[in-house]
Structure 1
Amino acid sequence: MNLAELKKIVVEGNKELPRRDLVKYSWGNVSGIDRENKLIVIKPVGIPYDELTVENVSVVDLNGKILEGPLNPSVDLDIHRALYEHFPKANAIVHTHSTYATVLAQLRRDLPCFGTTHADYFAGPVPCVGELTREEVEGKYEWNTGMAIVRWFEEHHVDPAEVPAALSPFHGPFTWGSDVWDAVHKTVVLEEICKMAAAMYSIKDEPAPLPQYMLDRHYYRKHGANAYFTNDDYGSGTMIKR
């Protein structure tokens, strides 16, 4: 994929967020990475989604240096950079403040796998990662926010390609994927399963999670070498063909 194509897809991926009612105003960002040419394309800071174009989207190098675009890149750029540096299979990242995922993040609660909808996309619970220290907040805050996510996956020996999402405490959700549409798709799913979980918690304080054997069956029938349920819109398709 050349840079022009990546810019177009990142612009369209960002515009998908308000279509799916995942953002208000400019509360979120989508980025994509060209690993071969070492470029990141990301939404500029504060721009309304309906004003975003291939002419004003931000292009930066892996160190965050601005290469193209008239506006500064998203203030969350360094979070994206940290994840790209440490999650080599992530080629796109999405961050929102969608209501239900952010509620769990503000409660500092993990999202257990309660049902098969979750298991179709994530091979286990979606974590709410560790809180930042005062020094981390007052220092390289955005970079440290990304590294808190990286640390959780490293410390818990979880493959970020199998659980491609995390909740940043007090902040909100992040998802990543093999391409922009994959990452956006997972953001939509994450918000929906967080909404389901919130309804469950309103009925029962500690609902039982899905049994591991059922979680595994649902996840691996769509992922991995023996997947057989692959003919759906997972990660691409309906959104890109508007």
Structure 2
Amino acid sequence: MLLKDLRTEVLEANLELVKRGLVLYTFGNASGVDREQGLVVIKPSGVDYDDLRPEHMVVTDLNGKIVDGDLKPSSDLDTHTLLYREFAEIGAVVHTHSEFATSFAQAGMEIPALGTTHADYFYGPVPVTAVLSDQAIGGAYVHETGVAIVKRFEGIDPMAIPAVLVAGHAPFAWGKDAHDAAHNAVVLEAVAKMAYKTLLLNPEADGVSQALLDRHYFRKHGAKATYGQ
């Protein structure tokens, strides 16, 4: 089986989204990339998660051309492949319609860095894209979604803020591999829920200071990270 290990990893990431309550029915998808071979493994479109097996994963090239697989790939494939082409350091992408992160996306609001849980994973607010134009929606919509994400990340390190909210749509998250991307998607939903509740309690909440953001983010990330074994 072509890319058996990566297929298994991508399947496990998709199932993690279900386990953590981030997807309903067949909503959502996860993919991973083999940079050496220039190939992407992604969940097939509209297949029940209970029925998914590694052999059901679809393999494409970085332009979305199917290389191996009998099923149609996720309808979000063109967004995933564009992110792989533009964000050279990422190894996997996850897309969900999780409740609280999607609520921020539908409101057209970024998720502010209000506390240290957020700061442990995201070095600043989780940004929201511009609203897609009618022309973009009526054209290559899925590709244009990726274009909007890439444009929003001009000047932002996608590994420092490994998630985005697509305005009026839902979140995408990514990471160094499929497990990491799914993990970031789960944390994204958790911090979105906390931010929602914080803003209900105090709409004027200022969020963490730069010093606290730096302290918590860099203790987990970078050359001088101290968190963990």
Letter in 2 for 1:225: A
Indicate the residue corresponding to 2:180 in structure 1.
Answer: 182
Whole-Å separation in 2 of the counterparts to 1:137 and 1:211: 38
Moved over 2 A (4+): none
Are 2:34 and 1:58 aligned?
A: no
Please list the CA deviations of residues 42-73 of structure 1 after superposition, one character each: whole Å capped at 9, or x if unmatched: 00111111111111111111111112221100
The alignment covers a number of residue pairs equal to 228
Please list the CA deviations of residues 66-107 of structure 1 after superposition, one character each: whole Å capped at 9, or x if unmatched: 122211000000010111111001100000000000000000
Indicate the residue corresponding to 1:223 in structure 2.
Answer: 221
Partner SS state of residue 170, structure 1:
coil
Root-mean-square deviation over aligned CA pairs: 0.9
* TM-score normalized with structure 1 length: 0.92
Indicate the residue corresponding to 2:67 in structure 1.
Answer: 67
Q: Cα offset for 1:18? A: 0.9
Indicate the residue corresponding to 1:42 in structure 2.
Answer: 42
Whole-Å separation in 2 of the counterparts to 1:163 and 1:219: 10
Alignment of 1:1-242 (within 5 A): 3-154=3-154, 157-231=155-229
Stretch of structure 1 that moved more, 140-149 or 222-231 = 222-231
Q: Which runs of 5+ in 2 are unaligned?
A: none
* TM-score normalized with structure 2 length: 0.97
Q: Cα offset for 1:4? A: 0.8
Please list the CA deviations of residues 102-140 of structure 1 after superposition, one character each: whole Å capped at 9, or x if unmatched: 000000000010001011011111001111111111111
Please list the CA deviations of residues 157-212 of structure 1 after superposition, one character each: whole Å capped at 9, or x if unmatched: 11111011000011111101000111110001000000011111222223111001
Partner SS state of residue 55, structure 1:
helix
Q: Which runs of 5+ in 1 are unaligned?
A: 232-242
